[in-house]
Amino acid sequence: MQSPVGRPLPHESAHLHVTGRATYVDDIPEVAGTLHAALGLSPAAHGRLVGIDRAQLLAQPGVLAVLTAADIPGANQCGPILPDDPILADGTVHYLGQPVYAVVAHDRRLALRAAALASQVVTVEPLAAVLTARQAHQLGHYVVPPMAMRRGDAASAIEAAPHRLSGTQVIGGQEQFYLEGQISYALPQEDRGLKLHCSTQHPSEMQHLVAHALGVGSHRVQVECRRMGGGFGGKESQSALFACVAAVAAQRLGRPVKLRVDRDDDFMVTGRRHPFEVDWEVGFDAEGRLLGARAQFISNAGFSADLSAPVMTRALCHFDNAYYLPNVDIQGFCARTNTQSNTAFRGFGGPQGALVIESIMDAMARHLGRDPLQVRSVNLYATTPEDGRSTTPYGQVVEDNILPDLMADLSGASDYAKRRSEIAAFNAHSPLVKRGLALTPVKFGISFNLAHLNQAGALVHVYTDGTVLVNHGGTEMGQGLNTKVAQVVAQELGVSLHRVRVTATDTHKVANTSATAASTGSDLNGKAAQDAAATVAQRLVRFWAQREGLAPEQVRLIDDGLALGQRRLSFEEAVAGAYVGRVQLWSDGFYSTPGLHWDRQTMTGKPFYYYAYGAAVSEVMLDTLTGESRVVAVDILHDVGSSLNPALDIGQIEGGFIQGMGWMTMEELWWHPQTGRLMTHAPSTYKIPCANDAPTRFRVRLFGRPNAAESIHRSKAVGEPPLLLSFSVLMALRDALAACAPDGPSAAAMRLPVPATPETLLSALQELRQVPRAAASSPAMPGSTRTDASAASA
């Protein structure tokens, strides 16, 4: 029998997905008497909540109840870290779209109609609204205190450096746009109990927050999640509001209540990836080696803390990306604004931090007239700690840097040097269409920022017919976590994968679990399930060795059976015999990641168990008349260690890259500057990539070197790191822009914000055309562009 681990097996629910039989929360048959809730949203960005006309709402057809903050029996808060995020607005409204009340009706359409009357029934006394992070920063409005990470003397290093540059990188936010929106279905149980079906990445947190809202113990609340139609971080903490409202309504009315928001309301209520503005200054030598760097990170946290503090921490920890930075001074400010509270998104701040240093590397290269790949290569971390260039700004030693080998492999396989020359020749003779090329690396730390979250539990039950049931604390959101866990358990028990089934995540089975986030799902839950399965396997081996008078090493679980020296039993026979012998055929398992520690005051420690690496080469074409661009070719080489499932891993790499490409080029969020209303709140106004946006040529390979750390079967996490490969698209667009000004500075290219939409690209092109040739002050990069040393900024 071929080993289950390491094979490109299909997703365990693929047959259900393609036939429409996969059950999501809204597919669960509704219990008789089910009611439907809808949320009334604040019509103002900031103000004192004067009153709500409940009588008008109760007079609407089908409406049974109207709930406000005063109707919540327990705590009116759902903040994951700080208690500053009310379930329903109480006294003050903090953003346009904040839930103020909930309507409960017999029919969902009737509930939505009543909820839509918010502008008529809610009275708000306006207060001044702060809508931008810059404005909040100037006012000193923050959701958590500022933080800083320092090493060496950055100011002196920059002052003494032969070359200096400064600039600002503007990074927009990004909507998670999960296919399945936020939804919770609450069913009252006996003796004040409640069962909640919730589309969430964090069932345990939902359990605790719902219990607090209801004023009961957590043991009375059961949260179950079979699968989600996508999460991307948007269902880590922000599913709580919907879970709590549904639960409070169900408890108050004594009937099942479902709360499913439509896409527009989902946009208006929930937060997304944090927008950042980063001011930076660097000093470097003639080879492009960075000597000192200072940066000020300002994130738009929204109105409450949510997860903004750990998001900023990870952004600062990933400012180095793949590069050794000897002198660093970086500060982080989480600005409080009157907008939706921003939250987790694939990468959790890491992409924002790493994008800044990639922009800086590109700017330094253009200032020196070098290929950006040369400058990136000279700044890479050393491959061995003994070289003295292996310690991160936060004090962790990079012990397994494989990027030089990986990047050399990718550069050769993608014909980077040849294509660079071809593109230069093309651009020289093409006045309207320009091409650009870039190769960017990724180093991404794997673990939760907070050490105690790096733990997981699992249960493995072996039945007497030889089938296996697994339950663990992770949640399935399409990424294939349950498939990988099943493969691990099958491997440990020596059985075929068809024998193993993974059940819905359930807080009544595995308690006190961490969110399925930070790319740790397979690492943590795979190890926990392996531990549980290993315990059962050891019991089987020990029982049969004693029964047959054999040494334990003579007994092996292999090939769907049990080898007893020269004799063989089927797995069913082995299990049935053990059951008769009164052997426990189920076990719990537990895993905690070793060696992690972090000091929040000094911003130092070992926050990551290991690093995942990768690199991408992207080629783009830019229409200089319209600003439209297209990614025409992508080559990716990504490090997943010894892959648990190459098919799933390649799918995650492709999906992460395309999602990142959307963030880099088209996904634009815009709030009305006077009212604070989010104007891009539906598919008609918010553009995500579709099949037609995928690169014409899209090649993905796995690097395949086993993880140096003792991870599950020496694999590496693959959920978040591939998103950062999309930086190559932005850098390629900057390359194409720079080719439009061979005799002038490329400051417009260096100031390119995220997302680089056709409008922003056209604006940059217009700026390039208006700059006089006499402004040029630096040599041209071979075959590409010249830059202005004084104005170049990322």
The values of phi and psi at residue 547, to 5°, are -65, -40
Question: What region does 623 belong to: left with phi over 0, alpha with psi -120 to 50, or beta?
Answer: beta
Give the containing element (helix H, strand E) for 47.
strand 47-52
C-alpha distances in Å from residue 621, one per residue of 134, 618, 659, 773: 33, 10, 19, 25
Coil, helix or strand for 487?
helix
Looking at residue 517, its amino acid is A
Q: Tell me the β-bridge partners of 335.
A: 142, 300
Tokens of 591: 């895993």
3-class SS at 265?
helix
Size (the chain), residues: 794
Q: 140 CB contacts (<8 Å, ≥6 apart)?
A: none
How many whole angstroms separate alpha carbon 300 and alpha carbon 339?
Answer: 9
| Distance separating alpha carbons of residues 62 and 111, to the nearest angstrom | 8
- Helix H or strand E segment including 471: strand 468-472
DSSP 3-state assignment of 586?
strand
CA distance 440 to 410: 11
Q: For the chain, how far is it from start to end, CA to CA, in angstroms? A: 54
Among 175, 180, 236, 720, which one carries the catalytic annotation? Answer: 720
3-state secondary structure 636-703: EEECCECCCCHHHHHHHHHHHHHHHHHHHHCCCCCECCCCCCECCCCCCCCCCCCHHHCCCEEEEEEC
d(CA 173, CA 299): 10
d(CA 364, CA 361): 5
Contact (Cβ atoms closer than 8 angstroms) between residue 353 and residue 266? no
Count of CB atoms within 10 A of residue 758's CB? Answer: 15
Compute the distance between CA of residue 263 and CA of residue 180 in angstroms, rounded to an integer: 9
Q: CA nearest 195: which of 542, 658, 506, 587?
A: 506
Rounded CA separation 113/61 (Å): 9
Q: Is 628 a catalytic residue?
A: no
Cα distance between residue 226 and residue 471, in whole Å: 11
Of 596, 318, 316, residue with least CA distance to 447: 596
Query: Can you tell me whether residue 21 is helix, strand or coil?
Result: coil
Contacts of 5 (CB under 8 A, 6+ apart): 487, 488, 491, 644, 713
Instruction: Find the radius of gyration of the CA atoms of the chain.
Output: 28
3-state secondary structure of 519: coil
CB within 8 Å of 229: residues ≥ 6 apart: 24, 178, 179, 180, 199, 477, 478
In the 8-state DSSP scheme, what is residue 619?
E
For the beta carbon of residue 78, count every other beta carbon within 10 angstroms: 26
Q: What gap in Å lies between CA 763 and CA 757, rounded to an integer?
A: 10
Contact indicator for 231, 270 with CB cutoff of 8 Å? no
660 is written with which tokens?
């990142």
Token pair, residue 346, equals 């694939």
401, 625 in Cβ contact below 8 A? no
List, by residue number, the catalytic residues. Answer: 720
